[in-house]
Structure 1
Amino acid sequence: MRDHFVWVTTRRIKPGTLEEFERAWRPEPYPEGLLQAYAYWSEDGLEITGVSFWDKRESCDSWRGSESETRRRAAMAPYVVQEREGFYVGRELGIPVR
């Protein structure tokens, strides 16, 4: 099985700011080495979890330290109440055929 490199960020945002947050959240330009990205919202729209898959850890680290990511975080900051993040290495779980 091959390893996956995953960056997960969960943010609580201010009430009523989901639309503005979504506009600020999108990276520009899209990062080199980013393979897939997903965003999940809580039903109340106050918590967003972003899950991104990378070709290797170094690509993610490079993006996280980039000027583009610094600008993106500054654009999101007015809407964010709390933020947690982590970088993980994992594998797909095989699910038996039923």
Structure 2
Amino acid sequence: MATWSVLTGRKLKPGAYDDWRRAWQPEEWPEGVRGYILRKIGDPDEVIAFGLWEGTREGLEAMRPDPAVESARQSRMAPFVEGQFADGAYEVVDTIGG
């Protein structure tokens, strides 16, 4: 079993965080996923959203949303986003600290 993260970094339009946050929220969270949103210190319009999940790669792929559902979610967010600088699924390969 491994730990996985799906991560996206975005530059939001000024003052659009609350609207983007409502649009970002999926209709249903996959079981076992814990989501986080980070805002950059000094630039609150730069955000990184990610989720952590433990399981197999096959399980990760199986829990991904239906493409039509994800496309609709992306369309809801689009009016509030200036750009995207990171997007992907990642495997946690090291855990540092206690």
Give the alignment's TM-score, normalised by structure 1.
Answer: 0.77
Structure with the largest fraction of strand: 2
User: How far off its partner does 1:85 sit?
Assistant: 0.8
The aligned amino acid for 1:75 is: R
For structure 1, which runs of at least 5 residues remain unmatched after alignment?
A: none
Give the structure 2 partner of residue 50 of structure 1. 49
Give the ranges of 4+ consecutive aligned residues of structure 1 lying more than 6 Å apart after TM superposition: none
Question: What is the Cα-based RMSD across aligned positions, in Å?
Answer: 2.2
Contact preservation (8 Å) 1:34, 1:60: no
Residues 68/58 of structure 1: CA separation in 2 closer, same or farther (3 Å cut): farther
Identity percentage of aligned residues: 26
CA offsets per residue over residues 48-93 of structure 1, 9 Å max, x none? 1011123343454452553221111110001111112122112452
Q: Which segment is superposed worse, 62-71 or 3-12? A: 62-71
For structure 2, which runs of at least 5 residues remain unmatched after alignment?
A: none
- Distance in 1, Cα, partners of 2:82 & 2:73: 16
Residues 36/68 of structure 1: CA separation in 2 closer, same or farther (3 Å cut): same
Query: Within 5 A, what are the aligned runs for 1:1-98?
Result: 2-30=1-29, 32-43=30-41, 44-54=43-53, 55-62=55-62, 63-83=64-84, 84-91=86-93, 93-95=95-97
